[in-house]
A and B are shown apart, each in its own frame.
Chain A
Amino acid sequence: MAILVVEGKDMEEAISRGLEKLGLNRDDAEWQVLSEEEGKVKVKIFRKGEPQRIIKEVVEGFIQKFGAEGSAEVIKRDDGSFYVNIITKDSDGVLIGKGGKNLEALQHLLARMVHRHDKSLEVVIDVSGYRAKKEHTLRARALAFAEEVKRTGREVFFEPLPPSLRRVIHLALQDKEGVRTYTIGEGELKKVVIAPSRR
């Protein structure tokens, strides 16, 4: 039994109901309050590490059907999302694809497959740390470009990037003084622009 949503008139009742349904002790479970109203509390409850198990199962099931030999490491990040690093014996290159094209397809499909189990699970798919490295480089470029924009007062355009990578740039510069970021273009041609802040 995977992830349950239970209701109760208060937290205590909801949690004990959930524990009973799952057949778990308090120490073995994790929960998260979804909504809290007068006399009605909704709690999501699951065995500790259950999200990681579900994600690992979905991803490794896929890798196997893909005809690759390997495994997935799942790490919970501070923002609540799960970082999934796939490592295979001989298929890392195929799974990444040219310019990370296949990895983006994997990201889209595996995220949807995980959502079928639980809508709240956010996954970031990587292969052999490719994305992590790319994100690191993008962050460094964003910071360097920001300095250039501040110095010259001119906008700088990034190459078209998928949503997950555009997000990296927006986040890297969201608290940076003197510059702002926005997106232009449509569909797969969306680009991030770094511009001087409006006065």
Chain B
Amino acid sequence: MKELIEHIAKALVDYPDEVEVREIAGERTIVYELKVGEGDIGKIIGKGGKTAKAIRTIVTAASMKTGKRAVLEILEPAS
């Protein structure tokens, strides 16, 4: 799952090297924190949040295979 999120994010942004995904495993849920380079956040969120929503849909779909609920948190750059 971590790889899938990284793969999608890297394919969307201008600075793929700055994409970071952190996995925080809980008992029933795994939280994935996605961080991207400054200025790339818009590419991940998309118009009206459409891209972010699509990524979350795919993450949920992929988590059906693993049996553990996956939650994607997109971190806003601290500026």
CB within 8 Å of B: which residues of A? 58, 61-62, 65-67, 91, 94-95, 97, 101-102, 104-106, 108-109, 112-113, 116, 187
Contacts and interface: CB of A to CB of B under 8 A. Distances in A.
Given A65-B3, A67-B4, A112 B12 contact: yes
B61 A94 contact: yes
Given A105-B53, A112-B51, A66 B12 contact: no
A105 B7 contact: no
A187 B47 CA distance: 11
Give the secondary structure class of A's interface.
Answer: helix
B48 interface: yes
Given A116-B12, A187-B48, A67 B57 contact: no
Interface residues of B, number: 19
Contact of A61 (B7, B48, B64): B7
A61 B51 CA distance: 19
Contact of B57 (A62, A66, A105, A116): A105
A96 to B, nearest CB: 9
Which of B11, B12, B50 neighbours the largest number of chain A CB atoms within 10 Å of its CB?
A: B11
Interface centre among A91, A95, A109, A187 (most CB of B within 10 A): A109
A94 B57 contact: no
Contact of B65 (A58, A65, A67): A67
Nearest to A106: B58
Contacts of A67: 4, 62, 65
Interface string B29-69: 00000000000000000101011011101100110110000
Contacts of B12: 109, 112-113, 116
Task: Return the 5 tightest CB-CB contacts between A and B, nearest first.
Answer: A105-B57, A105-B54, A113-B11, A108-B54, A65-B7
13 contacts: A58-B11, A94-B65, A105-B53, A105-B58, A106-B54, A108-B51, A108-B54, A109-B54, A109-B55, A112-B46, A113-B11, A113-B12, A187-B48
